[in-house]
């Protein structure tokens, strides 16, 4: 990551995110683990500076929103964690909160366990190798970063969401997101926040969802 560290640090500055030297080293280690295993496991499409921008900085851009909804005893779950995105970047940036990285693929779960160990965040991060449909735990905050329409995943996410909990969805264009939310409006309250990911031209949004009446 050394060649792209300046981009990462400039992005953090633009986002007003302050990290300790230890946290920066953890991000460098995580970058190295993804680079080492990416082609073998097909974790992500982006490499090099593209990975820094499209994955690390993208994952961290709504950090201030997570801080607003997190409470002292909040538990967080990254559903369908894959390469650990956004879960590992968030867990590095929020070391005081327990995270669960939910991943059904054995190979990817194996990568996640290794990445968690290498970045030294195992004290507050658990890797759960299960299909979401059989998970019995529930969480205060469930986040996911995928291209699947909300209507296709909302019932699964609802299963693992505590009463009064919040779903935080990383999404793209606002117009498309509004179309996804339309059929859910009777049961879910939603808030759309437009994001500006440093060095990224693509339109990004973040959606907070809570069940109505809770």
State the pLDDT at residue 128: 99
State the pLDDT at residue 52: 98
Q: Using the CB atoms, write b or e for 139-149: b if 16+ within 10 Å.
A: bbbbbbbeeee
pLDDT digits (tens, 9 = 90+) for 114-160: 999 999 999 999 999 999 999 999 999 999 998 789 999 999 999 99
User: What phi, psi does 144 have (nearest 5°)?
Assistant: -155, 155
* 214 three-class SS: coil
Pairing verdict, β 204-211 and 188-195: antiparallel
Q: What angle do CA 80, 1, 79 make, to 5 degrees?
A: 10
Answer yes or no: are the C-beta atoms of 156 and 179 closer than 8 Å: no
Q: How far apart are CA 139 and CA 50, in angstroms?
A: 31
Name all domains of the chain by residue range, CATH numbers in brackets: 2-211 (3.40.50.150)
User: Span 60-83, mean pLDDT?
Assistant: 97
What sign for the dihedral angle of Cα 8, 14, 20, 23?
negative
pLDDT digits (tens, 9 = 90+) for 152-189: 999 999 999 999 999 999 999 999 999 999 999 999 99
State the pLDDT at residue 5: 95
User: Span 89-108, mean pLDDT?
Assistant: 98
Answer yes or no: are the C-beta atoms of 127 and 109 closer than 8 Å: yes
Answer yes or no: are the C-beta atoms of 190 and 167 closer than 8 Å: no
User: Span 65-79, mean pLDDT?
Assistant: 96
State the pLDDT at residue 148: 84
Q: Which of 177, 179, 135 is nearest to 157 (CA)?
A: 135
Which DSSP symbol is given to 61?
T
Answer yes or no: are the C-beta atoms of 132 and 144 closer than 8 Å: no
Count the helices and strands in the chain (H runs, E runs): 9, 7
Which DSSP symbol is given to 34?
H
Q: Is the pLDDT of residue 22 over 80?
A: yes
Give the side-chain half-sphere CA count within 13 A for 97: 26
Q: Which of 176, 167, 178, 115 is nearest to 138 (CA)?
A: 167
State the pLDDT at residue 2: 77
């Amino acid at each position: 990551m050394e060649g792209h560290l300046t981009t990462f640090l400039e992005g953090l500055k633009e986002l007003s995110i302050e990290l300790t030297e230890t946290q920066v080293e953890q991000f460098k280690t995580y970058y190295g683990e993804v680079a080492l295993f990416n082609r073998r496991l097909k974790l992500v499409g982006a490499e090099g500076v593209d990975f820094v921008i499209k994955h690390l900085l993208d994952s961290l851009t709504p950090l201030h929103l997570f801080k607003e909804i997190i409470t002292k005893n909040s538990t967080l779950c990254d559903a369908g964690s894959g390469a650990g995105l956004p879960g590992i970047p968030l867990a590095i940036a929020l070391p005081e909160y327990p995270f669960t990285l939910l991943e059904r693929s054995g190979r990817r779960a194996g990568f996640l366990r290794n990445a968690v160990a290498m970045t030294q965040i195992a004290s507050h991060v658990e890797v759960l190798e299960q299909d979401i449909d059989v998970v019995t735990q529930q969480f205060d905050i469930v986040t996911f970063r995928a291209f699947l329409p909300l209507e296709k995943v909302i019932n699964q996410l609802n299963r693992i969401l505590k009463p009064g909990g919040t779903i935080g969805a990383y999404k793209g264009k606002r117009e498309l997101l509004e179309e996804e939310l339309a059929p859910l409006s009777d049961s879910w309250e939603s808030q759309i926040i437009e994001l500006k990911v440093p060095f990224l031209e693509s339109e990004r949004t973040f959606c907070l969802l809570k069940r109505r009446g809770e």
